[in-house]
Amino acid sequence: MKKISLIALAVAFVSPVIAEETIKETKNADSTEIVAEQPLVESEEIKIETSSNPKTKFPHGLQFGLGVSVSSGLNAFVGYNNKNFDSFWAKRFGVRFDFATMSPIKSSLNSRINSALGDDGIEIDDNLNINNVSLSAKHFGALIDFYPFGNTWFAGGLRISTGYVSGKMDLDADIYGKINGGKIEFELGGNKYYYEGEIMHGTAKLDWKYNGPYLGTGFDLGIFAGFKMYLDAGVVFAGNSAKIDLDVPLEGLKHVAGGTDVVQSELDNAKKKALADAQKELDKVDFYPLVKIGFMYRF
């Protein structure tokens, strides 16, 4: 009877200890399992973060261009157009800030123009020529580009551009006449005059300050990597035309009929009438053309 009681007492004492160790091992196993699963969650989060598309991030789409404008000189622009956006519309729109000036090439350009005109220049009347031409121009513009074909291979380079452009163009030239053994005759404002000397110098000026909406088209032709060739052609709807002015020296100026001297008031009236007639023709053109070609790089 005593032996049985001792055995029962031992079992009763050992059982809780074994149960407690079993619970600890189970908890440790559970905690080990949880810790083992944690890195898997973190690796999945890292995988999700690195799967984003870096092509849609700035500065992808940033673009720079440098070229020449037929009517404004050296051309440059900076803009943005990202064709890798997922949005149907976002990939089709871009913006540009455009600038052009003849200042850096003015001297060389005018030398070439006058060389092409030759020593005699352009004849405007008997014994009267225009020579020594000086041309300058510049413009600023803010443009919105629309690519109707998005990023579709070759057709994706076609764009329609609109915006606002402000600029000016100045043209100065000398009116020169020289004759040996005769008279330099010309007509001004419906009256005929001549210089009693054999040499005559005058000036003609044409100034055009324009501001208005721009509408044009263009094309970006890929060369390699991000390098492209660009072409733009459009017009600025200025709503005004170029203004012309004329300076004719009074000294030595006489009437063909009678040979009498011309007074200043009469010369001013003749110039005013001649300029009005010329201005009527110029007013028919109230849009300024812009044609540009060059190279660009898009990130």
What are the residue boundaries of the structural domains of the chain, listed by start? 1-52, 57-298
- Peptide bond between residue 16 and the one before it cis (omega within 30 degrees of 0): no
**Centroid of chain to Cα 117:** 31
H/E run at residue 187: strand 184-188
Are the beta carbons of 184 and 161 closer than 8 angstroms? no
Angle in degrees, CA 147, 150, 155, rounded to 5: 80
- Do the Cβ atoms of 162 and 214 come closer than 8 Å? yes
- Determine if the pTM surpasses 0.75: no
Beta partners for residue 176, in sequence order: 129, 201
Give the pLDDT score at 200.
80
Question: Phi first, then psi: what are they for 87, rounded to 5°?
Answer: -65, 135
Q: How far apart are CA 271 and CA 248, in angstroms?
A: 8
pLDDT means over runs of 10, the chain (299 residues): 44 46 46 42 41 54 94 95 89 95 92 85 77 93 95 89 97 83 79 80 92 96 92 95 90 86 91 91 92 95
pLDDT of res. 214: 98
Look at residue 43 in the predicted model and tell me its pLDDT.
42
Contact 141, 165 (CB under 8 A): yes
Q: Are 252 and 266 in contact (CB under 8 A)?
A: no
Q: How far apart are CA 95 and CA 105, in angstroms?
A: 27
Q: Domain 57-298, what fold?
A: Porin (2.40.160)
Q: How high is the pLDDT of residue 30? A: 46
Alpha-carbon gap, residue 193 to 260, rounded angstroms: 10
Phi, psi of 146 (to 5 degrees): -120, 120
pLDDT at residue 57, rounded to an integer? 54
Q: For position 126, what pLDDT does the model report?
A: 67
Which regions of the chain does DSSP assign to beta strands (E)? Answer: 62-69, 73-80, 93-101, 122-125, 128-146, 158-178, 184-188, 191-195, 199-224, 227-237, 243-247, 253-255, 287-298
d(CA 174, CA 37): 89
The confidence score (pLDDT) of residue 86 equals: 85
Note the pLDDT tens digit of each residue in 229-265.
Answer: 999 999 999 989 999 998 988 888 888 888 888 999 9
